[in-house]
């Protein structure tokens, strides 16, 4: 099967055009969910500001608790109160560069063994997930090449130059996001090295 036969197959054309749309839809859904969470915070703060004088003490306490829960979730990205406490304690004390993209994926691997905090980067779950993201990055990188293969073999009949460049850019961007979603081995060692400096004395008092 020659290259022209491959590029003439509708499957490749549909897949190439559909991938950015599907990813954009997933991103839009994520933004919508985050907007709902922010809306919840806005409603709670509105209630606290305008109606707290009508609440009983236990109702005020419950409202404050709900505001803290939503705020802690937005700070950490996790709903588990134990994990929230660990992440907030560490992030407010450790001198490390932890991009939000990493925090979403590695926060759940933060462990306290009684003597120190550390990220369990040797866990099977972490290794498999990082490997999966890198494989997906390679797949999307391969998809980023397909529009140019079609462009040069179809004489721009399928995609004009601007469309080819745009689609390639979008898919390549997705590929890069997969690659940088997890830290490298060197970066993981540096993060755990920074965690060694975190004092646990105040952790039990919170």
Encoded tokens for 145: 């090449």
pLDDT at res. 198? 85
* Cα end-to-end distance, the chain, whole Å: 66
Cβ contact 117:201 at 8 Å: no
Residues in contact with 119: Cβ distance below 8 Å, sequence separation at least 6, in sequence order = 106, 109, 110, 111, 188, 191, 192, 195
Residue 146, class by beta-carbon neighbours within 10 Å (0-12 exposed, 13-18 middle, 19+ buried)? Answer: buried
What's the rounded mean pLDDT across residues 164-173? Answer: 83
How sure is the predictor about 67, in pLDDT bands with cuts at 50, 70 and 90? Answer: confident
Q: How far is CA 2 from CA 5, 6, 40, 47, in A?
A: 5, 7, 56, 67
pLDDT at res. 131? 93
Residue predicted with more confidence, 176 or 27: 176
How sure is the predictor about 60, in pLDDT bands with cuts at 50, 70 and 90? Answer: confident
Q: Is the dihedral of CA 173, 176, 180, 182 positive or negative?
A: positive
| pLDDT > 90 fraction of the chain, expressed in percent and rounded | 8
Residues in contact with 125: Cβ distance below 8 Å, sequence separation at least 6, in sequence order = 109
On the question of pLDDT at 31 being above 70, the answer is: no
Which of 93-102, 182-191, 195-204 bottoms out in mean pLDDT, i.e. has the lowest? 93-102
CA angle 185, 189, 190 (to 5 degrees): 115
CA distance 181 to 171: 16
Residues in contact with 77: Cβ distance below 8 Å, sequence separation at least 6, in sequence order = 100, 103, 104, 107
Residue located via tokens 């054309």: 13
Nearest to 16 by CA among 154, 132, 180, 177: 154
């Amino acid at each position: 099967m020659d290259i022209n036969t491959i590029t003439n197959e509708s499957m490749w054309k549909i897949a190439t055009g559909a991938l950015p749309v599907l990813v954009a839809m997933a991103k839009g859904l994520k933004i919508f969910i985050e907007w709902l969470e922010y809306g919840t915070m806005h409603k709670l703060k509105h209630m606290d500001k305008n109606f707290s004088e009508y609440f009983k003490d236990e109702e005020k306490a419950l409202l404050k608790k709900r505001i803290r829960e939503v705020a802690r979730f937005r700070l950490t990205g996790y709903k588990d109160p134990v994990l929230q406490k660990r992440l907030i304690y560490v992030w407010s004390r450790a001198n490390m560069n932890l991009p939000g993209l990493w925090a979403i994926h590695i926060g759940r691997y933060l462990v306290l063994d009684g003597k120190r905090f550390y990220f369990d980067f040797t866990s099977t779950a972490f290794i498999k997930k990082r490997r999966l993201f890198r494989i997906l990055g390679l797949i999307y990188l391969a998809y980023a090449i397909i529009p140019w293969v079609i462009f040069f073999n179809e004489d721009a009949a399928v995609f004009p130059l601007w469309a080819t460049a745009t689609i390639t850019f979008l898919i390549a961007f997705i590929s890069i996001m997969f690659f940088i979603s997890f830290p490298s081995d060197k970066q993981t060692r540096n993060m755990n090295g920074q965690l060694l400096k975190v004092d646990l004395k105040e952790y039990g008092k919170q």
